[in-house]
Structure 1
Amino acid sequence: MNYKSFIIKIFIRVILMVSLILTLVYFSYRNEFTYAIVLGIGLFVIIYNTYTFIKRRFLVIEDFFNAVKYRDFSRGFSEDVAAKDIRFLYKGFNQVHQTIKEINAQNHAQYVYLQKILEMVDIGIIAYDLETGNVLWSNDSFLKILDVPSFKNISFIERRKPELFTTIFETFHREGDSVIITSENEKIKTLVSDTIFEVEEDTFKLLVIQNIDDTLNKNESESWKKLLSVMTHEIMNSITPIASLANTLERNLEDLILKEKDEATELIDLNAGIKTIKNRSEGLLKFAKTYRSLNKVTNLNKQKIRVTELFTNIELLMQPSIEAKGIQIDFINTNERLSLQIDVHLIEQVLINLLLNAVDACKEKKGAHIRVEAIENVNRSIIIKVYDNGIGISEDIQENIFVPFFTSKETGSGIGLSLCKQIMLLHKGRIQVKSNLGEGTVFSLYF
């Protein structure tokens, strides 16, 4: 049964009503009122029946429209208990309901899929209403980069971090700008971009922020490793045969000097020159081998160790020699349960290097003091800080201290802090420095 039967039923009723009306008029004209009254009653019954017939079907349609209006697709229409033409309507409505439910399910699945993807990326994303400031959506990376808890309106950032609010939210970054922000009390370099979009009558701003410090550090580390690899390879390939030849010539000349004795003055001078060449060649080889250590650190042998145990190992090794120089050193662990999954040997090497630098910075300081402290921040990340109250590092060279070969010391090699940085990058962490001239320095290891 379909819409054709519905039309046929209505058509039959209309013809019947027209026929009754004409017959009623005829009997009324003939003054045969008995027949007219009977026909009038019959006409009323047919009109009422037609009215209820149409009304019932319109009520079914209205019920369906209300379900669509209020998005109530949980209910269904029974196809077994109604008239055949209504069953046809119910069947159609149920098919529409099922199609809409499937579309909604697909849209929801796509939304959840997209949401999970955006939550997994390490790029911060937020969308909010430009007029009200209400947050439409944001991911965890955004909160982590800005170092803030979850919030529903950007006015929260305005109250808590007004400078950050002005830099990130009030300033437009259409082309993408490099912005330095403070997160976890440390300055990090970020890339910020935004765009405006409209949904019906509402205007939204989509803001994207990326921490580019890690990317820059990784690229910089890889570039230096490649450069060092080429340099040490070329230096060793060039110097090794020179050193070998100088060694051979030295032995031959020594034999000739012993034979010639009194007439060997020129040979002695020549031998002295060859010794100089040999010594400098060996020095260059040693220099190249030293810098090759930057390339050797590529794999980690991780194991779980409590921070307390790590500090105890370093304390036993370093405390006697440091205190012998008149420098006080303290190890502080704010939580005895803190533990790290690290390559213990390499992280010990990092801490030893930082402590030696701290000792060097404090050597002419009265009341010199070094402090090694482990803390856990709000994101449950572990930070180890090495403080000293030494001479400090000038701001103009702080950005260069992790560059290989760069050193501010007269006898420094420029390899120590570069190696520390590479080891922390291998641990998916980072190392940062804060220093003020004459006040001291703090190196922070973020795990």
Structure 2
Amino acid sequence: MVLFILFYKSLIKPYKLLSSGVESIADKDFSIKFLHVGQPEPDKLIDVYNKMIEQLRLERTKATETHFFLEKLIEASPAGIIVLNTNNKIQSINPVAQKLLNVNLESSEIEIKELDSPWNTELSKINENTTRVIQVNGINQYKCYRSNFLDRGVKRTFFFVEELTKELLHAERQAYEKVIRMISHEVNNSMGSVNSIIDSTVHYIQNLNQNHTHDFINALDVAKERISNLNHFTKRFTEIVRIPPPDIQKCNLKEIINRVLIYFQEELKQKNILVNTHFKSDDDVVISFDLQQLELVLINIIKNAIQAIESNGNINFLMYSSPLSLIIENNGEPISTDIQKKLFTPFFTTKKTGQGIGLTLIREILVNHGCKFSLQTRSDRITEFKVLFRKG
């Protein structure tokens, strides 16, 4: 009996301890450690086991802390981050990307191709470890990078989406401001000299025989008229770079829209264009905006809508207090996908006599007021200009 007890202590008991240790590892419980049994060989095994368990515990703690840190970092990132699972469906997406892509994953996982346009097609075109610039609504531009990482030995894809709109608009504005100032400087210098010469010539000709001066005076009048037109032409460009800082005040959006529509009343009547203002009697949407600049924005949007319709059409105004927004619709000529990408490019125009200034002016004013906006033709062939105003 004594021999059996000694045999149990020397062999069976250490074996049971190690067996329970293996079960703990299988259950991912790294908190259990064993005490020595008083025998050299088993005690060595227990020391090895205890060191291994401690190392596994530390590694798991480190991995958990790192994972928690990365989750918080991704959630707080100013850029959008999208992580796909092994089935290439969106598994996780941070708040910035949710807002950009208009995605809510509470119900189920979705594929990239199920996203709204143009994200569905543009993100699918990005090859691994490459970058692509995606333009949304003709104004907002995003740099999108696609790469991968290993998750427990399995390759996972992720997208990094960074907004470039402000940086690109700033660089673009600096470029065209310089060009416009150079053009204005040279034209103004030339016009001053030419006008002086013409005035002197007219004064000289008036002292000559009247039978020979009529044609000269007419030619000089035409020259002065062309100079005046050129002056007006360059002033239109300089308006863009001379937009004053907004004088913010409380503006009743309904009243201002009705006042601006009076300006187009005769033209709308002649072209048989019906204006529908979907305002309720109690609608009194007040926004913080520069009054004169707001009128300028509305005038240009309405003017473009009239030109798109040409005749026999409708312009609809829809106002919302939550979110604070205005939508101006028209059923005129739709905007193609290729043209939409260029709409807010400075001086781009599809009109034969246009200068591409109207939309550029609208863009500068709305950006200066911190508004989000878009211009696009929907699937029902209705073109809408949407402005989302800032609160306060």
TM over 0.5: yes
Partners in 2 of 1:52 and 1:337 — Cα distance? 89
The structure where helix makes up a greater share of residues is 1
**CA deviation after TM superposition for structure 1 residue 363, in Å:** 5.8
Task: Please say if residues 253 and 284 of structure 2, whose CA atoms lie closer than 8 Å, have aligned partners that are also in contact.
Answer: no
Is 1:353 aligned to residue 288 of structure 2?
no
Partners in 1 of 2:208 and 2:119 — Cα distance? 87
Q: 2:236 aligns with which of 283, 290, 296?
A: 290
Structure 1: which 5+ runs fail to align?
Answer: 1-43
Distance 1:56 1:434, change over 3 A: same
Task: Please say if residues 275 and 314 of structure 2, whose CA atoms lie closer than 8 Å, have aligned partners that are also in contact.
Answer: yes
Partners in 2 of 1:90 and 1:312 — Cα distance? 84
Deviations along 1:404-436, whole A, 9 cap, x unmatched?
334455654421112223444453624222179
Task: Please say if residues 406 and 414 of structure 1, whose CA atoms lie closer than 8 Å, have aligned partners that are also in contact.
Answer: yes
Task: Please say if residues 142 and 165 of structure 2, whose CA atoms lie closer than 8 Å, have aligned partners that are also in contact.
Answer: no
State the partner residue of 2:64: 108
Distance 1:247 1:118, change over 3 A: same
State the partner residue of 2:186: 238
Q: 1:149 aligns with which of 100, 104, 110?
A: 104
SS in 1 for 2:85: strand
State the partner residue of 1:384: 326
State the partner residue of 2:176: 228
Q: 1:420 aligns with which of 345, 362, 368?
A: 362
Range 91-100 or range 64-73, more displaced: 91-100
**CA deviation after TM superposition for structure 1 residue 142, in Å:** 4.9
SS in 2 for 1:373: strand
Distance 1:345 1:239, change over 3 A: closer
Deviations along 1:198-243, whole A, 9 cap, x unmatched?
745xx554143748xx647963x45653443233222222222323
Q: 2:5 aligns with which of 33, 36, 48?
A: 48
SS in 2 for 1:292: helix
Measured on the aligned residues, the alpha-carbon RMSD in Å equals 5.4
Deviations along 1:107-155, whole A, 9 cap, x unmatched?
223223322333325344222123xx6765443455445433206765x
State the partner residue of 1:30: none
Distance 1:417 1:272, change over 3 A: same
Q: 1:206 aligns with which of 154, 157, 165?
A: 157
State the partner residue of 2:253: 310
Task: Please say if residues 101 and 119 of structure 2, whose CA atoms lie closer than 8 Å, have aligned partners that are also in contact.
Answer: no
Distance 1:395 1:62, change over 3 A: closer
State the partner residue of 1:122: 79
Query: Which amino acid letter does the alignment assign opposite residue 332 of structure 1?
Result: H
Partners in 2 of 1:290 and 1:362 — Cα distance? 25
Task: Please say if residues 342 and 348 of structure 2, whose CA atoms lie closer than 8 Å, have aligned partners that are also in contact.
Answer: yes
**CA deviation after TM superposition for structure 1 residue 354, in Å:** 0.8
Is 1:371 aligned to residue 301 of structure 2?
no
Query: Which amino acid letter does the alignment assign opposite residue 283 of structure 1?
Result: N
State the partner residue of 1:434: 377
SS in 2 for 1:442: strand
**CA deviation after TM superposition for structure 1 residue 273, in Å:** 5.7
Partners in 2 of 1:125 and 1:225 — Cα distance? 32
Distance 1:435 1:145, change over 3 A: closer
Task: Please say if residues 114 and 120 of structure 2, whose CA atoms lie closer than 8 Å, have aligned partners that are also in contact.
Answer: no
Task: Please say if residues 394 and 435 of structure 1, whose CA atoms lie closer than 8 Å, have aligned partners that are also in contact.
Answer: no
Task: Please say if residues 123 and 142 of structure 1, whose CA atoms lie closer than 8 Å, have aligned partners that are also in contact.
Answer: yes
Query: Which amino acid letter does the alignment assign opposite residue 61 of structure 2?
Result: A
**CA deviation after TM superposition for structure 1 residue 349, in Å:** 3.0
Query: Which amino acid letter does the alignment assign opposite residue 181 of structure 2?
Result: H
Query: Matched residues, percent identical?
Result: 17
Partners in 1 of 2:193 and 2:122 — Cα distance? 64
**CA deviation after TM superposition for structure 1 residue 282, in Å:** 4.2
State the partner residue of 1:8: none
State the partner residue of 1:35: none
**What TM-score, normalized by structure 1, do the two folds share?**
0.61
Task: Please say if residues 243 and 281 of structure 1, whose CA atoms lie closer than 8 Å, have aligned partners that are also in contact.
Answer: yes
State the partner residue of 1:404: 346
